[in-house]
Amino acid sequence: MTDAPLPDNRPTERVPSAWSRAWDSDLGYAFRHSPVAMVSAIAAVTLILAAIFAPLIAPTNPFDPASLDLMNGFTPPMQPNAFTSESFLMGTDDQGRDVFSTILFGMRISLFVGFAAVLFAMVLGIILGLISGYFGGWTETIIMRAADVQLTFPSILVAMLIFGIAKGVTPVEYRDQMAIWVLILAIGLSDWVQFARVVRGATLVEKSKDYVAAARLIGRRPFSIMIRHILPNVLSPVLVIATISLALAIIAEATLSFLGVGAPPTQPSLGTLIRIGQGFLFSGEWWILFFPACTLLILALSVNLLGDWLRDALNPRLK
């Protein structure tokens, strides 16, 4: 090369930070102009942060039997206990556990299961969707027919079936430890279908574009084309489904736990708390059910609304 290196160090305009670029992008603009999105984002972020920092925020540790005082049992919210005259923001349950603290810790389990299950479903769905969309033929037929068959069953039923089988093959002494992971597996496996379908559809569209032909012409192998070229271009619909799936996964986990087949009582999730609370509903201790149920409602609703908004914002033609 006889040329001097191209002058690349000349002054350029100040590169804005990633945060301010995101804030100023079209998506950021749509966000700033949607009150629903703002409110649900604030609600969701507050709840998620509260769950992450639960050990710092919670007044008591509900899992430490030493901190529990049975005398505190059934204290109504914001009222001093008749015996210990302690007061609790959201009252206490039958064993004197602070409901507010159990909700914070329960939310951790719910969110962890939700995020992990969606991640699992997403990875599985993306891989199977890419493969069936790109290769077509028999591979596609088998994968997509399996997906169709699974869709005909309600996903909660599939999750219960998987949960039951997994529980059956786990040795008794590990059951409680494994319960969370089995839950993730069960919800994830019942949820991959929609990821696979969307990714397959988007892959079919992208596959026919010329940049894929250009990559094939260079001599790229199919898997490298799928990962490097197609995957980044099919991710935006996946993001939308992932958000909406998160809300559904949190509800699915709560439903399973409510039915008693989910999180064990030693690691209570929101669903477990609701199950415990509903036993006291008719005896007047409404707060044991009410506060966990409200938390679940707000969490699922805000995430779901956020997902709905994201779908509209990424796809202006839907409006």
Partner 1 sequence: MTEPILSIRNLTVDIPTRHGLFQPVRNVSYDIHPGEIRGVVGESGAGKSMTGNAVIGLLDPPARIATGEVILHGRRIDQLDAEEKRRIRGKEIGMIFQDPLTSLNPLFTIGEQLVETIQLHLGLSATEAKARAIDLLDRVAIPNPSERFNQYPHQFSGGMRQRVVIALALCSEPSVIVADEPTTALDVSIQAQVLDLIKDLARERQVGVILITHDMGVIADTTDQVTVMYNGEVVESGTTEQILGAPTHEYTRSLIAAVPRPTLKVKRFPLIGYGGRATEFKIADLARNWSKPAPSKSGQLVEVEGLTKRFLERGALLPSMRRYFTAVDDVSFDIRDGEVFGLVGESGSGKSTVARMIATLYPVDGGHIRFDGDDITTMDAAALTAYRRQIQMIFQDPFSSLNPRMKVGDIVAEPLRHHDLLPAPDIGERVRELLDRVGLSADAWRKYPHEFSGGQRQRISIARALATQPRFLICDEPTSALDVSIQAQILNILKDLQEHLGLTMLFISHDLPVVRQMCDRVGVMRQGKLVEVQETDALFAAPQHPYTQELLGLMPKLDKLSDEGLATEAAGV
Q: Which residues bind partner 1 (CB under 8 A)?
A: 1-3, 5-8, 12, 29, 209-211, 213-220, 229, 232-233
Q: How far is the CB of 149 from partner 1 (least distance, A)?
A: 21
Structure tokens belonging to residue 200: 């397959």
d(CA 233, CA 249): 25
Q: How far is the CB of 13 from partner 1 (least distance, A)?
A: 10
Judged on CB neighbours under 10 Å (0-12, 13-18, 19+), 181 is middle
CB-wise, 8 or 64, nearer to partner 1?
A: 8
Q: How far is the CB of 80 from partner 1 (least distance, A)?
A: 55
Q: How far is the CB of 195 from partner 1 (least distance, A)?
A: 19
Look at phi and psi of residue 224 and say left if phi exceeds 0, alpha if psi is from -120 to 50, else beta: alpha
Q: How far is the CB of 230 from partner 1 (least distance, A)?
A: 9
CB-wise, 38 or 298, nearer to partner 1?
A: 38
CB-wise, 169 or 217, nearer to partner 1?
A: 217
Q: How far is the CB of 151 from partner 1 (least distance, A)?
A: 24
d(CA 147, CA 278): 36
Judged on CB neighbours under 10 Å (0-12, 13-18, 19+), 318 is exposed
Structure tokens belonging to residue 52: 């992450």
The CA–CA distances, whole Å, from 262 to 70, 177, 187, 189, 257 equal: 26, 12, 10, 15, 4
CB-wise, 29 or 53, nearer to partner 1?
A: 29
CB-wise, 233 or 255, nearer to partner 1?
A: 233
The number of helix segments (H) and strand segments (E) in the chain equals: 14, 0
In 3D space, the residue among 289, 220, 283 whose CA is nearest the CA of residue 258 turns out to be 289
CB-wise, 141 or 278, nearer to partner 1?
A: 141
Q: How far is the CB of 7 from partner 1 (least distance, A)?
A: 7
Q: How far is the CB of 130 from partner 1 (least distance, A)?
A: 15
DSSP label of 12 = -
Length of the chain counted residue by residue: 319
At a CB cut-off of 8 Å and minimum separation 6, what does 271 contact? 110, 253, 254, 255, 256, 257, 258, 262, 263, 296
The residue whose two tokens read 């699922």 is 300
233 and 202 in contact (C-beta within 8 Å)?
A: yes
